[in-house]
């Protein structure tokens, strides 16, 4: 099982001090967090993609390329890459390039984006969101898998004798996850291709995500990629920890109360009851995370959100220390002991390369 | 068993809005076999505000929403504030999922100090439920303070007519399950085909 972090990349005022990081500080902070993730033994760093303030990560492969140069082991991913408003040709090129630079330590997560104005800024219409996700991704797959592509569609200029360069590293396209917070069509899409499905599992009750994951698993089996329990599932989670549970609650409460998305609404206590958020000791995070398996079945990737709502960089790095020292080692052991032998690990470049070599030999 | 959800946005306790809601429910029950489930929005005010901010209903509000969505008919009653429905009344319907009330028989009621506010039913409540594609009974019932006393049978008559209309809508219309992308997903080939030209050209 893979463990990691995913970041939205928001620039948010620290409500306890009133200070707001500059874009430069936030971008450097995100890089520091990524490097720390490798240092403490996490497997994955994923960045969001946004094209409006107060978010900074508009160019994920630029950031991930830089992180790749300064890490050895970390898998670089996205949460999410906008399959609706990006040109699929540019996604194909950017992530193939990143694969080469990172020695294959790359996968990505497709998402639609739910900010209406972003669509027209890129010449698109949010009402076409699902159709864009379907057409663009079908083209993206083709660009990675066929050397010469002739293509026409609804949303982009036709391609005649087009070759996307560089070709994927070792001829193996990056593994793709599809993220969705409400659309059964995206679970269906992930299942059809046998790709991974990621439920962000933050800010909403888990029941909301369970029906998406269950649909994805059932349809994964329907399309003949394996048993439902062998489908490739990733989950998010949101945590804030201190050694002592009460300290965590006391310290996080002002960030919670003023947070974007859910601030000024429910109490921290109600929200931790109703959503996957855990605020407490490392042991409480371990206990809550293990319950995800009861709700979603055995899964392959767990990403935590640790750096939003204006938390200072120093605090975030302390969260990563606690994750690396006290939480992840226990979760690795517990999840591994519980996982049946027929449930696969998340695909990596190495495993996909090995599988394609076996395929070619047949 | 047919179920009728009653949503009352009255704020005081006891509330004339709730009183009207109960009268309307009783009038429907005289004409149709139905179980009535009452939701006092006052009890869900905090949850409704939280739902507006977080995008999901806390458990008690979830139950109330399910009651409304799953009911065969709805009686919705609001006090009239500033020439329209109350903010709490509107906010409750704002947090329902799209299409939740499509095709649902609805009876509207409102209360206010004087009958001068009565047309708010027609220019505020009825258009909102038309927008939500509910099937709204022709008679909407307004109760002013003076309607609760005196010899005038007007309110009782209006309540009875409205009750009959909703009962007719319920009796004449078997409920049918709404399509749901989870129980019955659109096969991916069909999604791919929507673009016609989306497949790589051969």
pLDDT surpasses 90 at A183: yes
Residue-wise pLDDT for A326-347, tens only, equals 999 999 999 999 999 999 999 9
CB contact under 8 A, A192 and B188: yes
pLDDT of the residue at B172: 84
CB of B92 closer than 8 Å to CB of B7: yes
For residues A276-303, average pLDDT: 98
Q: Which pairing describes strands A175-179 and A81-82: parallel, antiparallel, or unpaired?
A: unpaired
> Among A151, A184, A208, whose Cβ lies nearest the Cβ of B200?
A151
CB contact under 8 A, B194 and A153: no
- Return the beta strands (E) in A200-277 as ranges: 233-235, 239-241
> Among A149, A183, A204, whose Cβ lies nearest the Cβ of B55?
A204
pTM of the model: 0.91
| For residue B14, cis peptide bond before it (omega within 30 degrees of 0) | yes
- pLDDT class of A164 with cuts at 50, 70, 90: very high
Looking at chain A, which residue has its C-alpha nearest residue B49?
A265
CA distance B194 to chain A (A): 8
Task: Give the CATH number of the domain where residue B136 resides.
Answer: 3.40.50.360
Write out chain A residues lying below 8 Å of B53, CB-based.
Answer: 262-266
> Among B52, B56, B201, whose Cβ lies nearest the Cβ of A152?
B201
**Residues in CB range of A213: below 8 A, 6 or more apart:** A187, A197, A199, A233, A296, A297
Mean pLDDT (chain A) is 97
User: How would you class B177 by CB atoms within 10 Å of its CB: exposed for 0-12, middle for 13-18, buried for 19 or more?
Assistant: exposed
Does a structural domain hold residue B17? yes
Domain ranges of chain A: 2-361
Does a structural domain hold residue B30? yes
CB contact under 8 A, B200 and A146: yes
pLDDT of the residue at B177: 64
CATH of A2-361, one of 3.90.950.20, 3.30.2010.30, 1.10.260.40, 3.20.20.30: 3.20.20.30
From residue A9, alpha-carbon distances to A110, A311, A359, B96 in Å are 17, 12, 39, 31
Q: How far apart are CA A213 and CA A184, in angstroms?
A: 9
Residue-wise pLDDT for A9-53, tens only, equals 999 999 999 999 999 999 999 999 999 999 999 999 999 999 999
The one-digit pLDDT tens for each residue of chain B (202 residues) are 899 999 999 999 889 999 999 999 999 999 999 999 999 999 999 999 999 999 999 999 999 999 999 999 999 999 999 999 999 999 999 999 999 999 999 999 999 999 999 999 999 999 999 999 999 999 999 999 999 987 778 999 999 999 999 999 998 876 666 667 888 899 999 999 876 544 444 4
| Number of helices and strands in chain A (H, E) | 13, 13
Write out chain A residues lying below 8 Å of B187, CB-based.
Answer: 188
- Return the beta strands (E) in B9-147 as ranges: 34-40, 73-81, 84-85, 105-112, 135-136, 141-144
pLDDT surpasses 50 at A225: yes
For residues A254-262, average pLDDT: 93
Chains A and B form CB pairs within 8 A to the count of: 87
Domain that holds residue B174: 2-193
Residue A306 has which token pair? 């640790």
Q: How many CA atoms lie less than 13 Å away from A33 in the CB half-sphere?
A: 33
Report yes or no: B1 at the A interface, CB cutoff 8 Å.
no
The domain total for chain B is 1
Q: How far apart are CA A265 and CA A270, in angstroms?
A: 10
ipTM given for this complex: 0.84
CB contact under 8 A, B56 and A274: yes
> Among B188, B198, B200, whose Cβ lies nearest the Cβ of A154?
B198
CB contact under 8 A, B54 and A265: yes
CB of A76 closer than 8 Å to CB of A155: no
Write out chain A residues lying below 8 Å of B185, CB-based.
Answer: 184-185, 187-188, 215, 219
User: Between A55 and B153, where is the model more confident?
Assistant: A55
Write out chain A residues lying below 8 Å of B199, CB-based.
Answer: 138
pLDDT of the residue at B202: 43
Report yes or no: B98 at the A interface, CB cutoff 8 Å.
no
CB contact under 8 A, A138 and B198: yes
Which ranges constitute the DSSP H helices of A263-327? 268-274, 282-296, 313-322
Write out chain A residues lying below 8 Å of B195, CB-based.
Answer: 131, 134-135, 153-155
Write out chain B residues lying below 8 Å of A262, CB-based.
Answer: 53-54
CB contact under 8 A, B195 and A153: yes
Does a structural domain hold residue B198? no
């Amino acid at each position: 099982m893979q463990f990691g972090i995913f970041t939205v990349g928001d620039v948010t005022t620290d409500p306890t001090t009133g200070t707001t990081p500059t874009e430069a500080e936030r971008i450097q902070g995100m890089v520091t967090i990524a490097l720390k993730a490798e240092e403490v033994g996490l497997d994955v760093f994923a960045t969001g993609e946004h094209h409006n303030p107060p978010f900074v990560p508009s160019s994920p492969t630029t950031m991930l390329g830089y992180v790749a140069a300064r890490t050895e082991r970390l898998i670089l991913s996205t949460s999410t890459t906008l399959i609706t408003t990006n040109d699929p040709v540019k996604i194909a090129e950017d992530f193939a390039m990143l694969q080469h630079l990172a020695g294959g330590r790359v996968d990505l997560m497709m998402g639609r984006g739910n900010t209406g104005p972003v669509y027209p800024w890129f010449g698109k219409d949010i009402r076409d969101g699902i159709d864009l996700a379907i057409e663009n991704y079908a083209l993206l797959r083709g660009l990675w898998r066929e050397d010469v592509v002739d293509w026409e569609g609804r949303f982009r200029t036709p391609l005649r004798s087009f070759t996307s360069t560089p070709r994927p590293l070792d001829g193996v396209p990056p593994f793709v996850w599809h993220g969705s917070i409400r659309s059964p069509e995206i679970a269906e899409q992930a299942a059809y291709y046998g790709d991974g499905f990621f439920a962000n599992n933050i800010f909403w009750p888990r029941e909301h995500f369970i029906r998406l994951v269950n649909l994805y698993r059932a349809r994964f089996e329907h399309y003949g990629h394996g048993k439902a329990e062998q489908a490739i599932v990733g989950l998010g989670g949101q945590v804030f920890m201190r050694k002592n549970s009460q300290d965590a609650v006391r310290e996080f409460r002002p960030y919670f109360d003023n947070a974007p998305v859910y601030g000024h609404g429910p109490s921290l206590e109600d929200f931790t009851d109703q959503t996957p958020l855990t605020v407490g000791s490392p042991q409480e995070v371990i206990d809550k995370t293990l319950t995800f398996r009861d709700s979603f079945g055995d899964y392959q990737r767990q990403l935590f959100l640790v750096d939003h709502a204006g938390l200072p960089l120093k605090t975030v790095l302390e969260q990563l220390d606690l994750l690396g020292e006290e939480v992840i080692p226990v979760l690795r052991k517990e999840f591994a002991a519980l996982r049946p032998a027929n449930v696969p690990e998340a695909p990596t470049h190495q495993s996909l390369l090995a599988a394609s070599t076996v395929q070619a030999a047949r | 068993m047919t179920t009728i959800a009653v949503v009352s946005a009255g704020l005081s306790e006891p509330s004339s809005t709730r009183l009207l809601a109960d009268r309307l429910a009783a009038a429907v029950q005289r004409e149709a076999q139905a179980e009535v489930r009452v939701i006092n929005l006052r009890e869900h005010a905090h949850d409704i505000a939280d739902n507006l901010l977080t995008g999901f209903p806390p458990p008690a509000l979830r139950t109330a929403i399910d009651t409304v969505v799953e009911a065969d008919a709805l009686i919705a009653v609001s006090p009239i504030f500033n020439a329209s429905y109350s903010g709490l009344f509107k906010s409750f319907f704002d947090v329902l999922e799209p299409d939740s009330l499509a095709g649902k028989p609805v009876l509207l009621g409102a209360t206010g100090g004087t009958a001068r506010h009565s047309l708010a039913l027609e220019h505020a409540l009825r258009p909102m439920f038309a927008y939500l594609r509910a099937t709204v009974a022709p008679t909407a019932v307004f109760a002013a303070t003076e309607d609760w006393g005196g010899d005038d049978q007007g309110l009782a008559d209006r309540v009875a007519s409205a009750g009959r209309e909703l009962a007719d809508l319920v009796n004449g219309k078997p409920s049918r399950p709404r399509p749901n992308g989870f129980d019955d997903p659109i096969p991916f080939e069909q999604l791919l085909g929507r673009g016609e030209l989306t497949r790589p050209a051969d």
